[in-house]
């Protein structure tokens, strides 16, 4: 496959017609995740960790309502997070930055990753890895993918 692509590219450079190149990649799947604003108070409470981390990364100060121990934990955890264009990202153990997912997005992501157009009815661990490979993250992604 690699040689066919190199051959195709070399023919483009010389002006020859490139033939015999398959441009479909069976393992490459794309899907779109749409986000909407949450109106549910329970979802906002479950996203409080995102709010706390965003405040800390933006201001350098932990939210006032946190205890001293919670403030220390927040400061330690923050080294694996960054804000880009007001979007929170988490750095995994593999060094890859993934977008932090809000509560209201999780069910759609889980459903699409398991049985949607990008899914394949894989087991929980494979579904969780598919979500990670898509550049998405939340603290309980593997646990929720297993359920």
Q: Are 80 and 100 in contact (CB under 8 A)?
A: no
With CA atoms as reference, report the closest residue to 117 among 129, 130, 104. Answer: 130
Residue 4 lies in a domain: no
Residue 2 lies in a domain: no
Q: Please count the structural domains in the chain.
A: 1
Residue 68 lies in a domain: yes
Structural domain boundaries, residue 118? 25-146
Residue 89 lies in a domain: yes
CATH for 86: 1.10.340.70
Residue 82 lies in a domain: yes
Residue 17 lies in a domain: no
Rounded to an integer, the average pLDDT of 45-61 is 87
Residue 56 lies in a domain: yes
What pLDDT, in 10s, does the model give residues 54-81? 989 999 999 888 899 999 999 999 999 9
What pLDDT, in 10s, does the model give residues 82-115? 999 889 999 999 999 999 999 888 888 888 887 8
What pLDDT, in 10s, does the model give residues 12-38? 666 666 555 555 555 555 555 555 554
pLDDT of residue 70: 92
- CA dihedral angle for residue 128, residue 132, residue 138, residue 139, rounded to 10 degrees: 70
Residue 6 lies in a domain: no
């Amino acid at each position: 496959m690699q040689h066919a692509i190199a051959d195709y590219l070399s023919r483009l450079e010389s002006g020859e017609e490139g033939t015999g190149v398959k441009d479909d990649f069976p393992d490459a799947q794309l899907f779109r995740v749409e986000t909407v604003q949450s109106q549910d108070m329970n979802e906002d409470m479950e996203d409080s960790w995102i709010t706390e981390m965003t405040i800390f990364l933006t201001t350098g100060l932990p939210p006032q309502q946190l205890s001293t121990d919670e403030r220390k934990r927040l400061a330690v955890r923050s080294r694996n997070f960054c804000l880009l264009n007001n979007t929170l990202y988490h750095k995994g153990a593999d060094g890859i930055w993934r977008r932090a997912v809000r509560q209201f997005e999780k069910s759609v992501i889980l459903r699409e990753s398991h049985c949607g157009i990008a899914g394949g009815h894989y087991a929980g661990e494979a579904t969780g890895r598919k979500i990670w490979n898509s550049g998405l993250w939340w603290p309980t992604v593997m646990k929720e993918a297993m359920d």
